[in-house]
Chains A and B, each alone.
Chain A
Amino acid sequence: MAGRIWKFLASVRLTIYLLFGVALNLGVGALYLKFYPQVFRPLNKMAFGEWFSAYSSSHSWWLFTLLLLLLLLGINTGACTFERIVELWGKRKEYSRRRFFLYLTPSLVHLFFLVALAGHALSLFAVHHKEFPFRQGDKLDLPSLTIAIKKLQPEFWEHPLIVHPLRQCTVAMDIQAADSIVSKEIRFLHPFWFQGWSFHLDANPKAKPIQYILLVKKDPGTRWILLGGVGLSLLMLWYFVEIRKNKKE
């Protein structure tokens, strides 16, 4: 019985059904997000638990089916990968080192996919997100930090066609922690990290005057998402190039 369950969980057929199912579910979700942004956009600013108690409604069914399908996909991928690695490991002496690595690569790609998937789960359930609209001279209070905005220096494009010409902005700030004051500078696309928090500059260039916002995040999943994604993409790229070369040979 256990063997049959394992065989079912590790089957490629199940992978295919699950991937098509997730794709369809994501498509439905995209439509819900398009038509009910007020229900789902807050997920970008809070953890799933918080969102669930504040916004969940009958429109949220697709989110639960998506989580279930992704959980099954994670289990299926793990089982499939484990089975393949065990099989390959037994035959490792039959291949050259390079060929063995080539055959192992799809399994590594799947492992990186699992890393990225786990990162998404962590992000969804354990993210801390805070937003602080600010002006020069403001003091922003975080649980264990106080941020004083010292200088705000925007740069603009000078072109008549650009209606919202904000180009860049440099914000200098002093961060007061328990026992020290640290000076930091932040710009668009140039975040900084401090005591486990990441700080990002955001703005609403359409507002008059322009509204600057400090995004402060603690997201334990980010590094896993990025690591998984980079590993998966690079290995896949290498694998298909190698396979193509081998075919030619």
Chain B
Amino acid sequence: MLHPPLFAMRLAGRFSAPVRELAGMFALFDAAGYAADPAPLRDVFGVEALAIEEWAGRVSG
């Protein structure tokens, strides 16, 4: 796992609009995380969502 610093991505973003957009997104995740309440998906929508390992098994299988 490599974690290049955000400023390096921002620098690269000066030359590429998609990279600039990604840099903004990762800056948001870095500062705020991306946590949410899992209850609505299960209780309101009735979706039993996959966990990461289950999903990985499906996409690689």
Q: Do A and B come from one complex?
A: no
Interface residues of A (CB under 8 A from B): none
